[in-house]
Copies of this chain bind each other. A is one copy, B any other.
Amino acid sequence: MIGAEYIAEFLARVGSDRVFLLTGGACAFMIDAVGRHPELSYTCFQHEQSAAMAADAVWRTGRKVGVSMATSGPGATNLITGIACSYFDSIPSLHITGQVNQREGSAYHGANVRQSGFQETKIVDMVRPITKYAVMVRSGEELRQELAKAYSIAVSGRMGPVLIDVPMDIQQIEIVGEMLLPPFVPPADEDVFDAVCALGATLSAARRPIVLWGGGIGLAGVQAEVAHWLEQAKVPFVSSWAGLTYFDHDHPGFLGQIGVYGNRGANFVLQNADTVIVLGSRLDNRQRSGNARNFAIGATVHVVDVDEEELKKYVNDGYRTSQVDFRLLPKVLAALPPASPDPEWSNYAGEMKQQYYGRETSTSAARLNSLSPYDVVRRINASIADDAIVIGDTGAALCWLHQAFKVKDHMLFTAGGNSPMGYALPAAIGAKLTAPNRQIVSYNGDGGFQLNLQELQTVKSRNLDIAIVIMNNGSYGIIKQFQDSYLGSRYDASRDGYSAPDFGLIAQAYGLEYMRVEHLEQITPALFQGKAIIIDVVLSENTLIEPKLEMGRPINDQFPYLDAAAYAEGNKFVDYERPARLKDLVRSSS
């Protein structure tokens, strides 16, 4: 068995049986071995970036480690943006690159040249900041050891992507010895006593507690237990975007998603809590705002996370922290004392939910007499199956989606930390290939959609029934809104100089169905059933994200600004000073 065959056999054994790739000279032996392996199949993408993004979506969809394969040089560097999607969102994925023969490599010559072999590139050094582990293997023995090690690293602790760089000579070398499979890595510390005591103390003292549900809960697969505990404990909870996909939004304790684009009610309750328990969320700047000191002022914040480094970062915030492998989180929660929120707090939380949850409206669309993106999202939500998989791209479109979509048995995901334009199409392909029997919705803006539209060829050639929604506002809307706030509504490169093709003609070119949506009623269940289609939703160029936080304010004081009475009502327990100058509600652009 040569190295290439060993890799193929390894993939089959660990169940990563579908490889996403684009071929090239330096990976040809590996692809040949994949092609010859009876248990493996592969899908050709039209750009390696898409192969890596699709591999990222495999785990999100099916809890199997996705695999991309690419050639050296540009093949490998084209993977990078996709790999970063996995890294920042803690998604395990395996990326295998071909490298030039070692005797052709620059290391062999002992001189520090830019490149020796054709398309030789130091991909391992380049991806180190965005992988949990990356290594070039220099012998058959290293291939055996490193493949098992890398895979194990990807799926253990705080998960993430890994990369193995395989020189052509190692692809062809005869492998001696048995297959080494990745060792199972148990939690570093099975003892949860410290965490139970610390969290118990926090919870016992809480009169106005709230839980922030983070993506880490679902990554560890313990969402059912946590949802059950929240219902029993009667502690209200809010969610990060990464967390939204892991529970039924009809959960009685759920108040909405928080942050810069958060639900007003959810933001109010969080900001008025005396205790915030954060379960598996890294509290990035889109949650706490750019100024973390405005977050939950006066509350005890207690963060539970698997990653020690994420906990260290709160040293100046005065947060309490507990490091827990989330596979053990149910055990921790089961051992906690009962919570005893004040009845007044529970009532207030209920009122905020009543008043704000599910009520996002577009005042800009109303003024412009155009389609409200929130109505569109809700209409899509109602038109698709309860277990459809919806994948968001980025920008304004992504905000609208997370603000208005309600999860039942759906999956709702995006590459939140990296948030590249062009993720939602290749990820939808990865999802469809992983879960062929579920409805897949790739949900995009017109700007972001263009970056990987070459993958429409993959959709067509593989005959994948994916519904591709384009929220078409003819611009990079989120940048325009930023320019409204801080750059005098000068729309350089967001509208001026920006352009997009006619997506109807694009659909025609690739042989896909097309629907131009100008009225809500055109969005029907039939659109999402059994076919590849581009659903081009016509929005006004000046449709805003509402609500949205502007710089320097706490997350409970978003644009469009509430009047003083509503603001006071929301801040029932904590006094948030309000910066004096309020921006105009009506923008020059709208």
A interface residue numbers (CB < 8 A to B): 21-25, 28-29, 31-32, 34-36, 42-44, 46-47, 49, 73-74, 77-78, 80-81, 84, 87-88, 100-101, 103-104, 106, 109-119, 121-122, 125-130, 160, 282, 284-286, 290, 307, 309-313, 315-316, 417-422, 450-451, 453-454, 456-457, 460-461, 476, 478-479, 482-483, 486-487, 490, 492-494, 496-502, 505-506, 508-510
Contact = CB atoms under 8 A, between A and B. Distances in A.
Contact of A286 (B21, B118, B125): B118
Number of copies: 2
A488 B106 CA distance: 30
Which of A81, A128, A479, A483 counts the most B-chain CB atoms under 10 A from its CB? A81
B487 A32 contact: yes
Contacts of A460: 499, 501
B453 A454 contact: yes
A125 B129 contact: yes
B81 A78 contact: yes
B487 A419 contact: no
Contact of A35 (B88, B421, B496): B496
A160 B115 CA distance: 13
Nearest to A41: B497
A563 to B, nearest CB: 29
Nearest to A34: B492
A42 B492 contact: yes
A454 B450 CA distance: 6
Given A28-B479, A505-B508, 7 more contacts: A29-B486, A31-B492, A31-B493, A43-B497, A74-B420, A113-B313, A121-B129
A124 to B, nearest CB: 9
A551 to B, nearest CB: 10
A500 B36 CA distance: 24
A422 B454 CA distance: 11
Given A42-B492, A290-B101, A509 B502 contact: yes
Contact of A21 (B115, B421, B493): B493
